[in-house]
Amino acid sequence: MKKPKIALTVAGTDPTGGAGVMADLKSFHACGVYGMAAITSIVAQNTKGVQHIHNLDPEWLSEQLESIYDDEQPQALKTGMIASKDMMERIQVYIKQHPEKPYVIDPVMLAKSGDSLMEDVGKQHLQSILLPYATVATPNIPEAEEITGIKINDESSIYQAGNIFIKEIGSKGVVIKGGHSADLTESKDYLFTQDDVFTFTEPRFETKHTHGTGCTFSAVITAELAKGKSIYDAVKKAKKFISLSIEYTPEIGYGRGPVNHFAYMKKVGLDDE
Per-residue DSSP letter, 194: S
Q: What is the DSSP string of 90-147?
A: HHHHHHHH-TTS-EEE----B-TTS-B-S-HHHHHHHHHHTGGG-SEE--BHHHHHHH
Report which residue type is found at 97: Q
SS3 label, residue 243:
helix
* 7 torsion bin: left (phi>0), alpha (psi -120 to 50), beta (else): beta
The catalytic site residues sit at 177, 210, 212-215
